[in-house]
Amino acid sequence: MTIPADARIAVVTGASSGIGAATARELTRQGFHVVIGARRTDRLAALADEIGGTALPLDVTDDASVEAFASQIPRADVLVNNAGGAKGLETVLDAELEKWRWMWETNVLGTLRMTRALMPALLASGNGLIVTVTSIAALEIYPGGSGYTSAKHAPGVLHRTLRDELLGQPIRLTEIAPGAVETEFSLVRFDGDDAKAAKVYEGFQPLVAEDVAEVIGFVASRPAHVNLDQVLIKPRAQA
């Protein structure tokens, strides 16, 4: 579907599954026309049909893809920087550089690329909102997690720095830091190994994608003078 000129527009990256897909549904319920981006375009097309949104192919690790995506969005009220993920669980000494490259390109440079490319469209709305999905991994460390925790700390730093740099501009910035959410995240982390992925959620009830999406919906529905700087959301049973 083409993007309607008179609608409130929300852009969600990484909307082909998990938190991004749930957020696209939530923001649609709130009346936004939602533009969804990811690499798995078959899934995006099905979701766009379901919500009446616009599906555009997007690889946040690719400059040309981000540029082509942004060029189709002249105005945006909300950008949800959600595309991301982890690869592996390795000690610092054993870590594979390829996995670090994947995590840094996707989570860090992907967020930077998208934020810069969409900034003119967000400013054009007169009241833009950037929501960046980081993680409790942006606030903590854990053994074997340095590649992912560092790749999530960095978007948190980007968020806080931009918040200062853009003071006085018609733009708000929110960092959402979820704990464990049961999505395809762990499958991606362990390259499709179901048993390893399921172990992550053993012994406690994780969040579901909708729990996070509803928080993003709450952030997007605040009045223009209210900035929720950071929201940390965990399963009750997670330390």
Nearer of residues 104 and 125 to ligand NDP, judged by Cβ: 104
What are the distances in angstroms from CA 226 to CA 2, 106, 132?
31, 29, 17
Catalytic residue among 69, 148, 185, 190: 148
Q: How far is the CB of 71 from ligand NDP (least distance, A)?
A: 16
What is the nearest approach in angstroms of ligand NDP to the Cβ of residue 105? 7
* Count of other CB atoms within 10 angstroms of residue 213: 25
148 catalytically annotated? yes
Q: For residue 60, give both structure tokens.
A: 């946040």
Contact positions toward ligand NDP, by CB under 6 A? 13-20, 38-40, 58-61, 82-85, 106, 133, 135, 178, 180-181, 183-185, 188, 209
Closest distance to ligand NDP from the beta carbon of 205 (Å): 13
Tokens at 114, concatenated? 């998208």
CA 25 to chain centre: 14
Of 123 and 232, nearer to ligand NDP (C-beta) is: 232
- Measured from the CB atom, the residue of 45 and 123 that comes closer to ligand NDP is 45
By annotation, the residues acting in catalysis are: 148
